[in-house]
A and B are shown apart, each in its own frame.
Chain A
Amino acid sequence: DVKVTQSSRYLVKRTGEKVFLECVQDMDHENMFWYRQDPGLGLRLIYFSYDVKMKEKGDIPEGYSVSREKKERFSLILESASTNQTSMYLCASSRPNTGELFFGEGSRLTVL
């Protein structure tokens, strides 16, 4: 069974802290994505990666960075967390040029 695993389901951080969200996929997919899910706004793309060490900005990259050192792992980094980054974060992976994304179960981040 295909799987995308997000290491933390729930996190509570304080303003200004550095936050790491980890994602691992076991499907040997080239593409990996980080989305943010907020009520009424749907899923918005933060960053994506087509290959190891490659990354491109999505629609809302401000305040975030990413790292992809290995094909199966894609990390989202909040350098200095702010309260407006309180949200559900979803990682996904896919084969190139397909429309089927496989999502993890999400990481709910609360920034106090």
Chain B
Amino acid sequence: QQQVKQSPQSLIVQKGGISIINCAYENTAFDYFPWYQQFPGKGPALLIAIRPDVSEKKEGRFTISFNKSAKQFSLHIMDSQPGDSATYFCAARRGNQGGKLIFGQGTELSVKP
């Protein structure tokens, strides 16, 4: 079963708008929640990450919001740009299993000029 559920599967946003991608998890043993960004023809690369003792982390236009009680976290991309068009994956780390990552299903973001 999918331990990390991601939505939406695809997202179209106008340039300058806010992109929001949501993830929910089930396993309370997860201790680290990264987001990866993948451009066509490339492998995923770490974008931003958060630990469960923090409710929000911001890096430039990218923000993770984390709700531990609801077991949900989300990625917000402010002032979205065409260059942000990519596939985004949320993930969760199994803290007691040497750092393996469980990934969500992915969201294909398209930012229209």
A residues with CB within 8 A of B: 4, 31, 33, 35, 39-45, 48, 50, 58-59, 90, 92, 94, 96-106
- Contact of A97 with B99 at beta-carbon distance under 8 Å, contacts A40-B9, A43-B89, A105-B43 already known: yes
What's the nearest-Cβ distance from chain B to residue A6, in Å? 8
The 10 closest A-B pairs by CB, nearest first: A103-B43, A43-B103, A42-B105, A99-B32, A42-B103, A97-B99, A99-B34, A100-B46, A42-B106, A99-B93
CB contacts between A and B, total, < 8 Å = 63
What's the nearest-Cβ distance from chain A to residue B84, in Å? 19
Smallest CB gap from A104: residue in B? B43
- The answer to whether A101 and B89 touch across the interface, beta carbons within 8 angstroms, is no
What's the nearest-Cβ distance from chain A to residue B34, in Å? 5
- Contact of A42 with B104 at beta-carbon distance under 8 Å, contacts A31-B98, A97-B98, A105-B42 already known: yes
Count of chain B residues near A, Cβ 8 A: 25
Cα distance, A109 to B32, chains bound together (Å) = 31
Cα distance, A43 to B91, chains bound together (Å) = 9
- Contact of A103 with B45 at beta-carbon distance under 8 Å, contacts A43-B89, A44-B103, A48-B100 already known: yes
List chain B residues, Cβ under 8 A from A45: 100-102
In chain B, positions 61-113 with a C-beta closer than 8 Å to chain A are: 89, 91, 93, 98-106
